[in-house]
Chain A
Amino acid sequence: MAVTDIAVVGYAQTPSSRRARESEVQLLVPIVTEALQRSGLDRREVGFTCAGSCDYLTGGPFAFVSNLEAAGAWPPISESHVEMDGAWALYEAWVRLQHGDIDTALVFGSGKSSPSIPAEMWAQQLDPYYLAPLGVDPASLAGIQARALLDAGKATERDFARVVVRNRRNAKDNPNAQVAGDFSVDELLAAPYVRAPLRKHDLPPVSDGAVAVVLARGDRARALCERPAWIRGLDHRIEVHQPGMRDLTTSASTTLAARKAGYDGGPLDVIELSSTFSPQELILRDALGIDADSNVNPSGGPLAANPVMATGLVRIVEVAQRIVEGTASRGLAHATGGQVLQHNLVCLMEGD
């Protein structure tokens, strides 16, 4: 049985940018420091550190080792790394905290997509026999998924555009967003396709950025934070890898992860989804049973800023921050990994 008194007590994130000149570690140093300062925890007190990043992004072998320097890893610390979004680093830290022998953890996620050609690089995350040699890029798979939605009568291109309009409008209030503004559905629908039926605005921006989180357990969390964002449930589930072996118009793994995380369908003040491509927001809403007037992606979501390997952990921070600041009492964050929503994580959070 999971311990449920683990909370987010500190956080910080960089603004998302198309091309950061600083190194990935330089992006991390100030925000790791800021997250710790916000929690009031000295970095030497941190019980466990876990990071999420991907060496392929900058093409730097062992780049994840350099990233650890942002945590101050000398004298040696207890740490781990996932070659996944930072949300999974948070998952590992949360599991580690269940042991009960430590009561704080530092988590961060970071990525600089700008040096690579993402469409070419991301093919390498796919099956190396059947998919990677074809150079199948994320946007092409998302395009296939989008048309499957259209063919199934579950959505229209106008629905995709509506998602973009709302996310970009929401992003106007997010100082960390990269793409924001007021657009009309008709003006978006006039844009050319890049992976029909997807247009450029249905795709996320290419982003550099980083995010850090401090977790604490029980009384330590209460001591560090006036209003901790308690993690009531956290679960992740994965589906078959081959895109042609599952229904791309649904997300069974998201539904299951939400159920295992204890989401009962009750009201949520804030929902942050890793809907990297606009049609995925519709799929995820459906998978979670969230109705159309819910407060989804008030940050603007990944369509406004997509610092890959941080994107999912940013969702958790966006929800946690609203709970800590008292503007929300209950929220749900979602992270995704793999291609076209193959792997999904759900984090249910509440304030006291």
Chain B
Amino acid sequence: MSASTSKQNLVPKENLVPKETLVMEHLVSLTYSEELTPVLDRYVDALIDGRIVGHKCPSCGRVYVPGKGYCPICVVPTTAADEIEVSDHGTLTGFTIITPVAYYGQTETEPFVYASVLLDGSDSNLGGQEIVGVPHDQIRSGMRVRAVWKAKTDRSAEGVSNRGWGSVSSVIDAFEPSGEPDMDRAKYEEHIF
């Protein structure tokens, strides 16, 4: 087809819209629906029961909380037979204090702690945990903490999904200092994240 087959009006250059004067607001919203993996389903059952369980690699002995269904170091599958319970006491291995800015979806308004907790008996951190019962300026790596459980009737599976970093917020409100002496750095430095 030729361009000259119909009437076309050239748009004068001065009528062109300058760069970046127009912005398109496009909210992409995608919904997902899936069953919890069998490993996480059992993990949630235990949490609601007040127990924290993980998978112990039959090859290297490392313990992952929650279990993954495999050991990422040895690349061997793990199953319910490899499930073990770990403590609800642990060590804070790393943290940041977030001063929230009002971005889309941010519901926090006050500074809050985002900490990694290595539970006793586990080789993997629970990420993104809130720390309470201690002023922010006294929070430190190596601090010993324990879980503040929700009342049994208030526990739900809501915070657990197949993606994410092991949130337990629908079962455990936060972690608080346990009063034990700080852990030697050498004992957790292989687990910092």
User: Which residues does A use to contact B, with CB under 8 Å?
Assistant: 19, 21-23, 25-26, 29-30, 32-33, 43, 56, 58-61, 63, 69-74, 112, 114-117, 120-121, 124, 128-129, 132-133
Contacts and interface: CB of A to CB of B under 8 A. Distances in A.
A29 B77 CA distance: 7
B61 interface: no
A58 B70 contact: no
Interface string B78-102: 0000000000000000000000000
Contacts of B154: none
Interface string B9-36: 0000000000000001010101111110
Given A59-B32, A63-B163, A117-B31, A23 B69 contact: yes
A96 B163 CA distance: 31
Contacts of A29: 69-70, 75-77
Given A21-B37, A58-B163, A69 B72 contact: yes
Contacts of A115: 32-34, 162
Contacts of B38: 21-22
Contact of A58 (B28, B32, B69, B74): B32
B186 interface: no
A30 B34 contact: no
B69 A74 contact: no
B163 A25 contact: no
B73 interface: yes
Contact of B75 (A22, A72, A133): A72
B82 to A, nearest CB: 14
Interface in B23-56: 24, 26, 28, 30-35, 37-38
22 contacts: A21-B38, A22-B38, A23-B68, A26-B69, A26-B77, A30-B77, A43-B75, A58-B32, A58-B162, A58-B163, A69-B68, A69-B72, A69-B75, A72-B74, A74-B73, A114-B34, A115-B32, A121-B30, A124-B28, A124-B30, A128-B26, A132-B26
Contacts of A117: 30-31
Please give me the 8 A-B residue pairs with the lowest Cβ-Cβ distance, nearest first.
A69-B72, A60-B163, A115-B34, A72-B75, A59-B32, A115-B32, A29-B70, A26-B69
A257 B85 CA distance: 55
Contact of A73 (B30, B37, B69, B72): B72
A112 B162 CA distance: 12
B34 A25 contact: no
B24 A129 contact: yes
Nearest to A116: B32
Contacts of B75: 29, 32-33, 43, 69-72
Given A60-B162, A121-B30, A124-B30, A26 B37 contact: yes
B77 to A, nearest CB: 6
A22 B35 CA distance: 9
B37 A22 contact: yes
A32 B34 CA distance: 24
Contacts of A60: 162-163
A71 B75 CA distance: 7
A264 B190 CA distance: 56
B30 A116 contact: yes
Nearest to B35: A21
Contacts of A43: 75
